[in-house]
Amino acid sequence: MTVTTAVSAAQLPLEERAALTSGADFWTTKPVGEVPGFVLTDGPHGVRRQEASADSLGIAASAPATCFPPASGIGQSWDVDLINRVGAALGVEARELGVGVLLGPGVNIRRDPRCGRNFEYFSEDPILSGALGAAWVTGLQSEGVGASVKHFAANNVEADRMRASSDVDDRALREVYLRSFQRVVEDAKPWTVMASYNRINGVYATESRWLLTEVLRDEWGFDGVVVSDWGAVVDRAAALTAGLDLEMPASGRDDQVVAAVNEGSLTDAVVTEAAARMITLGTRVAEGQRPADLDADRQHALAREAASRSIVLLKNDGGLLPLKPAGRIAVIGSFAETPRYQGGGSSHVVPTRVDVPLDRIRLAAPEAEIVFARGFDQDGGTTEQLTAEAVHAATDADAVVLFLGLGERDESEGFDRDHIRLPDVQLQLLAAISAVQSRVVVVLSHGGVVELAGVAERAAAILDGALLGQAGGSAIADVLFGAVNPSGRLTETVPLRLQDGPAYLTFPGENSHVLYGESVYVGYRWFDAREAPVAFPFGHGLSYTRFEYSDLLVDEVDGGLAVTLTITNAGSVAGREVVQVYSGLQSSRFGRPPHELKAFATVDLELGESRRVETFVRRSDLAVWDTRVSAWVLEAGDYLISVGASSRDLRLTATIGLAAEGPRPPFSLDSTLGEVMADARAATILSPLLSRMGPSDEIGETLGMDIARMMQSFPLNRLGMMSAAPDQLEELLAQINAE
Ligand code: BGC
């Protein structure tokens, strides 16, 4: 619809403006003038449209909607085009169901594998999360439906999520936890951002003016509405002052807003601004509404494509996969019959249909004899009979497809796991089966990462399905028999043991504080810096074909680096490679991981085909957050740009020298000799003087000491210990700073 008469917030009485800053009910906003109220609902991987009764835990019924793979699944596609199309498909469905804003995507970082909500988040890496989230938002909003990027910010644990403070240093915040949000906001211009429940360094996200106004609006240029997570607002006036426009759901506390203005603790202008943003959003939503051309089959087909692109081939000894659709195939495990394809909590949707893996395997291999054994129950139970049947089925089979995973009760929004092992009964079953059968393919269903060392020892092949949405069953059959060549890649490191991870000792926190002691060393940044063994590295994933990398070129171009290389399909079938571009700077004066993901691309190649692949590394993504100046700076130096198939499989590396960019703190008498000498300009100006002040290099030579190195940490004003500091020094420093 077109809204013809603009409503001006400034002309509304205070009571009406205040009313606009909270919901009308659980899912709806209030109308004003010609601008109707609209519905916001979950999200992210399907539309959860509740009509009768409402809740934020996915309990009460909702209308059937296509269940696409949750972020933990679809993230493994590393495919921005696919995710963009899924976003658009969600937009069509949202319109059909009368939804104006869909609550997603979740771009929080998977800091620790135990977080119960990791299945709703794309990755442990911010650039990957940001790029995929931006693609989702662009797709959704192209259909006239708004996104709500969540949960802003540093919401990386479920335990105590409504109170706990994420105590994070500024570098980690900027470089890791905010970076995914920044990319989505700047690239995709979401209509709304959802402020999270938690505190950040002691301040509720919903009350943080620094977060919601200074960073989000002033720095990143966000022009939409900040909505609270459901029930996240503690103090209405404080939240409005911080920049939170809409409290959800309805709380009936608008009178507190009016009272705060009347008593002077909240300015009238703040309420006007929030109301104005709500009117703009309501108008956007109204204008986005148009008839939806919804086709359930088409949606399901896209869900199937997305699911097949989400599957990661972790291991394939002896080329066991793809299976021949012939002979006797034993399909074992309860998940084959009752698939687990989404996570629990607010994102839980009622699917329009569900493809059952066992049925789909039968359909894909009509000539084969498929025998099924349940093997175990998803709640962790089993019986001797179930085990015996499974082992019997496995014994004379030509291959076994064993479905393992986590059940609905094992993980969910609202709580975290205390371990990352698969249920014992499943591991025992795998051991029993592998004792009688060597051709075992394990298919995994799980939201958060699971420990796999024991599985990898016993299974010849592993397909990681994460969570695949309602069409997962078809996708698994497609990949098992080779109709689809797997191309998914891990978006989170699979550690050998939970104890090896960076947040092992500080997750989930204590006394309502979560100390992010590992700082920027999250995920592979931590494992790779320590050269620690892992079960499967970040970015890993095999294919039924083999790719070769050659001719890497790195050029400085406007805004960043053009990274170009040739990929050749040197194997035996068509396939898709996910090219990953990492950067590192060995000479950095910041603590840095050896390499960090900066760009990626997917490329489809026919058998024998070679293609030049072009990727772009943004200059801003090479910058680090310098806490001395509270700004992004690009350090000068020789950057190593590597391309490869995982963070542990870097195939080619090139070096490119970049000049410094961004502010630097002024030099003072407190600057050290090392800092001064590291700056070419300062070094030239000050060297003659400084060489007269400290002990000479010749003395060092005579004594066999590295005097220059010993002196590096001396502040200039302490050089006086060696000789009187000349007044000239201060003048020269002023001159350098002025330049
Ligand atoms: C969740 C949000 C969700 C909201 C509405 C909250 O509990 O954290 O992600 O969008 O409920 O259901």
Q: For the segment 319-359, what is each residue's pLDDT rounded down to a tens digit?
A: 999 999 999 999 999 999 999 999 999 999 999 999 999 99
- Ligand 1 centre from 164 Cα, in Å? 17
Please identify, by atom number, the ligand 1 atom nearest to the C-alpha of residue 103.
10
Residue 480 scores a pLDDT above 70: yes
Beta partners for 612? 566
- Ligand 1 centre from 595 Cα, in Å? 34
Residue 723 scores a pLDDT above 70: no
Determine the 3-state secondary structure of 403 from DSSP: strand
CB atoms within 10 A of CB 201: 17
Closest to 535 measured CA to CA, from 498, 489, 579, 502: 498
Kindly tell me the burial class for residue 158, based on how many C-beta atoms sit within 10 Å of its own C-beta (0-12, 13-18, 19 or more): buried
Kindly report whether the peptide bond that precedes residue 665 is cis, defined as omega within 30 degrees of 0: no
Determine the 3-state secondary structure of 261 from DSSP: helix
> Which token pair is 40?
């916001």
Please identify, by atom number, the ligand 1 atom nearest to the C-alpha of residue 345.
7
What is the C-alpha to C-alpha distance for residues 482 and 77, in angstroms, rounded to an integer? 17
List Cα–Cα distances, 208 to 23, 200, 284, in angstroms.
21, 8, 26
User: Phi and psi for 16 in degrees, rounded to 5?
Assistant: -70, -40
Residue 721 scores a pLDDT above 60: no
Kindly provide the b/e burial profile for residues 327-348, where b requires at least 16 CB atoms within 10 angstroms of the residue's own CB: eebbbbbbbbbbbbbbbbbbbb
User: Phi and psi for 119 in degrees, rounded to 5?
Assistant: -65, -20
What is the C-alpha to C-alpha distance for residues 27 and 227, in angstroms, rounded to an integer? 12
> Which token pair is 227?
């909505």
User: Which residue owns the Cα nearest ligand 1 atom 7?
Assistant: 56
- Ligand 1 centre from 230 Cα, in Å? 6
What is the C-alpha to C-alpha distance for residues 51 and 35, in angstroms, rounded to an integer? 22
Residue 696 scores a pLDDT above 80: no
Residues with CB under 6 A from ligand 1: 42-43, 56, 103, 150, 229-230, 346
- Ligand 1 centre from 29 Cα, in Å? 16
What is the C-alpha to C-alpha distance for residues 607 and 575, in angstroms, rounded to an integer? 8
Closest to 312 measured CA to CA, from 486, 188, 439: 486
What is the C-alpha to C-alpha distance for residues 714 and 455, in angstroms, rounded to an integer? 54
- Ligand 1 centre from 329 Cα, in Å? 42
User: Which residue owns the Cα nearest ligand 1 atom 5?
Assistant: 56
What is the C-alpha to C-alpha distance for residues 469 and 296, in angstroms, rounded to an integer? 14
Q: For the segment 590-613, what is each residue's pLDDT rounded down to a tens digit?
A: 999 999 999 999 999 999 999 999
Helix (H) / strand (E) element for 309: namely helix 296-310
Average pLDDT over residues 711-735: 77
Beta partners for 454? none
Amino acid 217: pLDDT: 98
Ligand 1: which of 56, 121, 196, 412 to mutate, judged by most atoms within 8 Å of the beta carbon? Answer: 56
Ligand 1: which of 42, 50, 149, 233 to mutate, judged by most atoms within 8 Å of the beta carbon? Answer: 42
User: Which residue owns the Cα nearest ligand 1 atom 9?
Assistant: 346
What is the C-alpha to C-alpha distance for residues 57 and 413, in angstroms, rounded to an integer? 8
Residue 697 scores a pLDDT above 70: no
SS (H, E, C) 215-226: HHHHHCCCCCEE
Average pLDDT over residues 147-175: 97
Average pLDDT over residues 9-38: 96
Residue 245 scores a pLDDT above 60: yes
Residue 137 scores a pLDDT above 60: yes
Please identify, by atom number, the ligand 1 atom nearest to the C-alpha of residue 58.
12
> Which token pair is 715?
């502040």
What is the C-alpha to C-alpha distance for residues 632 and 185, in angstroms, rounded to an integer? 17
CB atoms within 10 A of CB 4: 6
- Ligand 1 centre from 277 Cα, in Å? 22
Write down the mean pLDDT value for the chain. 95
pLDDT confidence tier of residue 701, bands split at 50, 70 and 90: confident
Whether the model clears a pTM of 0.85, i.e. scores above it, the answer is yes
Helix (H) / strand (E) element for 513: namely strand 513-515
Ligand 1: which of 229, 247, 342, 412 to mutate, judged by most atoms within 8 Å of the beta carbon? Answer: 229
Residue 51 scores a pLDDT above 90: no
Kindly tell me the burial class for residue 117, based on how many C-beta atoms sit within 10 Å of its own C-beta (0-12, 13-18, 19 or more): buried
pLDDT confidence tier of residue 695, bands split at 50, 70 and 90: low
User: Which residue owns the Cα nearest ligand 1 atom 11?
Assistant: 56
Amino acid 680: pLDDT: 84
Helix (H) / strand (E) element for 453: namely helix 453-458
Q: What is the arrangement of strands in the sheet containing 513-515, beginning at the earlier edge strand?
A: 203-204, 199-200, 165-167, 513-515
Amino acid 718: pLDDT: 83
Query: What type of residue is 687?
Result: S
Residues identified as active-site: 229
Residue 310 scores a pLDDT above 70: yes
CA 609 to chain CA mean position, Å:
32
pLDDT confidence tier of residue 704, bands split at 50, 70 and 90: confident
Please identify, by atom number, the ligand 1 atom nearest to the C-alpha of residue 197.
8
Q: What is the DSSP letter of 68?
A: P
Kindly provide the b/e burial profile for residues 652-685, where b requires at least 16 CB atoms within 10 angstroms of the residue's own CB: bebebebeeeeebeebeeebbbebbbebeebeeb
Please identify, by atom number, the ligand 1 atom nearest to the C-alpha of residue 55.
12
pLDDT confidence tier of residue 61, bands split at 50, 70 and 90: confident
Residue 699 scores a pLDDT above 80: no
User: Which residue owns the Cα nearest ligand 1 atom 2?
Assistant: 229
Amino acid 660: pLDDT: 93
- Ligand 1 centre from 235 Cα, in Å? 19
- Residues contacting 497, CB < 8 A, separation 6+: 451, 453
Q: Considering just the CA atoms, what is the radius of gyration of the chain in Å?
A: 28
Percent helix, strand and coil across the chain, each to the nearest 5: 35, 20, 45
